[in-house]
Structure 1
Amino acid sequence: MSTISEAIKKDHQEIKEYANNIRAATDDDTKTRWQNQFTWELARHSIGEELVVYPAFAKHLGAKGQEMADKDRAEHQSVKEALKKFQNLSPSSPEFLPTLEALMNDLNSHISGEESSDLPALEGALQTSDSEAMAKSFGRTKAFVPSRSHPMAPDKPPFETVVGLMTAPIDHLADLFRKFPDETVSPNPSTK
């Protein structure tokens, strides 16, 4: 069983890996596949944190935790807006890689803060079994949330949950028609 910090850090590494795969791709088809994988993972990860982790900051860390959650939600909003732009760009667009780089700069700053202070503070307030249960909830939540960025959607429960449950099936259906890398886990069974 993994802790919530381990689950979040694993996602962070995958997101960084997918960005590197986009950069390294030598043709538009491969770039598109990794772009879809990157978008799929980052969108689900962000909403999973907002629904599972950020409420835990406030619950277990009080006012300081609420400040952390509010700061992280604001950073997520910026990332969601950049992801919305990036997910709609063609790899042949001159904006494609600069948009990815700007997105990753914001995201790397957010990741650094989360991993160096936010998650250790949360882990310090949790029993290991609670952290493991939260990691399990985080993983389950990611299965039911939208797989594309929707920056205009509410970012706090319960409204985020309601909008997410309405939007997710549309995103998941559209994922069936998107290309994903052959060697990754994706929502698209036709790539296997």
Structure 2
Amino acid sequence: MSETKTTFLLADDHSLIRQGLVFMLEEIGSDYEILQATNLSQILETVKANEIDFAIIDAHFPDGNSLSILPKIKEINPNIKIMIFTGIDEATQSLKFINAGANGFLSKLSEEEEIKQAILRMLRYGQYISPVTQELLMSSMNNPQLINPLKSLTEREIEIAELYAKGLGNLEIASRLDLKQNTISTVKKRIFEKLNIENIVELAELIKNNHD
């Protein structure tokens, strides 16, 4: 590595997680400057104000999902390397973040040694793709709905899903689309099955995070 100091941004709304990462970076050793952020707006402010080399960012913050700001971070600093470090399920979520601009994705459930290796790979190669995500990337070349599960829905199903996500009920949707109420209920069941979800909250989150 070069003589210049490497600047890390550790972004998580839990101080224990940030502190754990600080200890890990100290164990890895080298000349690091460490900045911290606890929400999305702080992340963007810090990226604007500093020349950050590596960012380790959680997926969810009280003020939203970090998926929404990844393109903005890359716009501000195209050279920044971003690793998502999160408790959410890698098998269903990692491709969305990689697709949005992340260079790596790591589960908080990983063993300490794997976390260290992931950080080292980010430092050396600028990316960390776990075996799970590698497999998903290969599969997604033939199956785009792995990246965006909404692609499995028909246009009519997407239309109805979006109305549910806006808070409309069966009766209102049926009235708006001039369809029978039991037709809407049937479509809702099909949408939930296709997306493997159980409630409207999950549906709203999916729609928010997967719009092209």
Name the TM-score, length of structure 2 as normaliser. Answer: 0.23
The higher radius of gyration belongs to 2
- The TM-score normalised by the length of structure 1 is 0.24
| Greater fraction strand | 2
